[in-house]
Amino acid sequence: MKTSRVLILFFLLFLIFSNGINTHAILNLHEGTYATYALLEPEGGPGGVKDLYMFILYPEGLPPNVRNRLIGYLSPDSPWVKDGFPFIIGDCTEVFLEFEILKVLDNTASINVSITFVNTTLEGDYRRIIPNLTIWEVLDLNFSDMTYYENGTPIGKATLFIDPSDPPKPGEVLFSLEGLSMDVNVSVGNVTYSAYGNSTVLTYYRPFRPPHIGMTTRRFYFSEAGKNWSISGGGREEYTYDFLTGVMIAGTFSHSTELMALGVFDIDSMDRRIRGKSEDGVWPDGIKLYDTNIAFPDEGDSSYPDSPWRYYMYSGILALMASLLARWWKDGHG
Amino acid sequence: MKGTVSALLLIDFIGYLIGNFVVAVSQSNAPTGCWEMYKHDVDDQVWDNGEWYWAGVRGYVRICDGSASIETTTVEHIYGVSWSKGTKIIEGPYKVHTSKVAYTEFEYQRITGETGWAYAVIYATPVPSRTVATGESS
């Protein structure tokens, strides 16, 4: 009886410690790891579909090269130029968000995050269509607190990744919206290990069987007006993560830490290509995984253990069997 | 008779003067070739169980010498869902307008749990035929 308890305790301790030590091994983030998320154009193109995807850029926060290029596209009577509107509104037919791990040093990873808007129109100027508008920046992510730092200053908690063993806690501030005169903090509302219940979450890349980790934000609102403009909105974001790696598989992602770091205030969070339920599972709202080189542990039906997690599972079963055997032996194998 | 004719001529002449004056004043305020256009867009739906949503935006666009801008003081954002039937707005409403774009957008949730977005937009610049089929008047 005691032996089994001790064994199980050791096994649990082993699990807990291995979690703590191998954080980024579990996250599966190493040099060269990349993932792309997408909001795709509906089949047959945008005909008959309303203005597809809107987005709002915060020029002050854009990387300087992108900002200069964008300003060149604006007409002289642009609200940003003329009226002091703090944002630039655009629309496009497809959105691709990508991250790539450039370097992992001790507890920090340099991550290139980029967003590409396809067939972009700025401020409704249809005479000029930008085939690909890409905004990218290298962000430094500290694994121990899952926070991005810029020259040593924290700029927000990661929303593309979480540490499954230590997810953000309710009430914690994820990031702040920039470009408004008042501070609007977006903080964690709820974290659940059973997002989407027993449903499989479908993405453009592959289906993800349950369980999933879900994080929602608290409700937030903003409202601001100037002489010739007005903007208000807000709501509640919802991000869904792979259970074992903690990498996001889908998210409403209207606002996020990574977007705000790039100078993107808001993107549309509905997928106009595909959504809703089917026999195979649920298509979540917003951007979804599109391509990646991450070997998600539960991939395929391969019979051999292809990840440390499988070994954990097997060793767990082994430990359980050993303890049962020990108990059975002690009790006089009767 | 003569008196009537001369009175009419006088009125004509005064009218001519006033006309000239009006044209002169209006020209100083707005150059010739300015015109206004009413634009609106609606996204709405009603389901069999009586649930509905409604998102709209409307306003005037002023076009002067080929450059168009939305008269932001005339812009109105309208939105609603069948709250009494249990329909909810779970994100937004986003209500945004500048002199170039105005839109109303929100995410609704039906009592079945099904979610979706309502979205209405008008632009200052006339859009090409590709997106004219959006319901936006032009």
Query: Which chain B residue shows the shortest CA-CA distance from A47?
Result: B130
Same domain, B26 and B43: no
Tell me the CA distances in angstroms from A243 to A14, A168, A291, one per residue in order: 19, 14, 18
Inter-chain residue contact B130 with A78, CB threshold 8 Å? no
Q: Which of B114, B117, B134 sits opposite A270 (nearest CB)?
A: B117
Residue B67 inside a domain? The answer is yes
Count how many domains chain A has: 2
The predicted-structure confidence for B19-75, as pLDDT tens digits, reads as follows 555 555 554 454 567 899 999 999 999 999 999 999 999 999 998 887 889 999 999
Buried b (16+ CB within 10 A) or exposed e, B8-42: eeeeeeeeeeeeeeeeeeeeeeeeeeeeeeebebb
Tokens of residue A297, six digits? 């542990």
Find out whether A265 and A255 touch, Cβ atoms under 8 Å.
yes
Give residue A304's pLDDT.
Answer: 45
Residues A16 and A35 in one domain: no
Residues A5 and A153 in one domain: no
Residue B99 touches partner A, C-beta closer than 8 Å: yes
Residue B53 sits at the chain A interface (C-beta within 8 Å): no
Cα–Cα distance between A251 and B47 in angstroms, integer? Answer: 27
Best mutation target among B41, B98, B105 (most A Cβ atoms within 10 Å) is B98
How many Cβ pairs within 8 Å bridge chains A and B?
104
For residue B25, the distance in angstroms to the closest alpha carbon of chain A comes to: 25
User: How do the pLDDT tens digits run along chain A, 334 residues long?
Assistant: 556 665 565 555 555 545 444 445 556 678 999 999 999 998 877 666 666 899 999 999 999 999 999 999 998 889 999 999 999 999 999 999 999 999 998 889 999 999 999 999 999 888 888 999 999 999 999 999 999 999 889 999 999 999 999 999 999 999 999 999 998 999 999 999 999 999 999 999 999 999 999 999 999 999 999 999 999 999 999 999 999 899 999 999 999 999 999 999 999 988 888 878 888 899 998 999 999 999 887 655 444 444 556 566 667 777 878 888 888 788 877 6
Identify whether residues B46 and B23 lie together within a single domain. no
Contact between B43 and A269 using a beta-carbon 8 Å cutoff: no
Residues A134 and A17 grouped into a single domain: no
Asked if A51's CB is within 8 angstroms of B90's CB, the reply is no
Q: Is A120 on the interface with B (CB under 8 A)?
A: no
Residue A15 lies in a domain: yes
User: Is the minimum CB–CB distance between A89 and chain B shorter than 8 Å?
Assistant: yes
Report if residue A304 sits inside a domain: no
Helix (H, G, I), strand (E, B) or coil at B50: coil
* A185 DSSP 8-state letter: E
Q: Are residues A143 and A72 in the same domain?
A: yes
Please indicate, yes or no, whether residues A223 and A314 belong to a single structural domain of this protein. Answer: no
Chain A within 8 Å of B51 (Cβ-Cβ)? Answer: no
Same domain, B14 and B39: no
Percent of chain B with pLDDT strictly greater than 70: 67
Residue range A170-192, pLDDT digits in tens? 999 999 999 999 989 999 999 99
The count of domains in chain B is 2
Closest by CA to B71, choosing from B34, B28, B118, is: B34
* C-alpha distance across the termini of chain A, in Å: 15
Does some domain include residue A83? yes
Distance from CA of B10 to the nearest CA of A (A): 46
Q: Rounded to an integer, what distance in angstroms lies between the CA atom of residue B2 and that of residue B18?
A: 24
**Min CA distance, B138 vs chain A (Å)?**
14
Both tokens of A1, joined, read: 């009886």
Exposed/middle/buried for residue A200 (C-beta within 10 Å: 0-12, 13-18, 19+): middle
| Contact predicate B56/B81, CB 8 Å | no
Same structural domain for residues B120 and B56? yes
Q: Which SS3 state, helix, strand or coil, does residue B28 take? A: helix
Residues A213 and A321 in one domain: no
Is there a single domain that holds both residue A5 and residue A91? Answer: no
CB contact under 8 A, A47 and B100: no
Strand B52-64 and strand A88-92: the pairing is unpaired
Boundaries of domain holding B46: 32-132
DSSP line for A255-276: S-HHHHHHTEEEE----SS--E
Question: Looking at the structure, do residues A270 and A316 belong to the same domain, yes or no?
Answer: no
Phi then psi for residue A325, to 5 deg, are -65, -45
Question: Do both A224 and A325 map to the same domain?
Answer: no
Q: Please state the pTM of the whole predicted model.
A: 0.78
Nearest to A85 by CA among B96, B121, B71, B122: B96
**Angle at CA of residue A85, ends B89 and A67, nearest 5°:** 105
CB A115 within 8 A of CB A290: no
Across chain B, what does the average pLDDT equal?
A: 80
Residues A120 and A78 both lie in one domain: yes
Best mutation target among B91, B110, B136 (most A Cβ atoms within 10 Å) is B91
Residue A176 lies in a domain: yes
Tell me if chain A has a CB within 8 Å of the CB of B95. yes
One domain for residues A158 and A75: yes
CB contact under 8 A, B43 and A50: yes
Residue A316 C-alpha, separation from nearest chain B C-alpha, in angstroms: 38
The three-state secondary structure class of A295 is: coil
Domain that residue A241 falls in = 29-294
Same domain membership, residue A145 and residue A188: yes
Same domain, B38 and B75: yes
Q: Does any domain span residue B137?
A: no
Contacts of A127 in chain B (CB under 8 A): 125
Q: Do residue B13 and residue B51 come from a single domain? A: no
Same domain, B78 and B127: yes
What span, in angstroms and rounded, lies between the C-alpha atoms of A178 and A264?
9
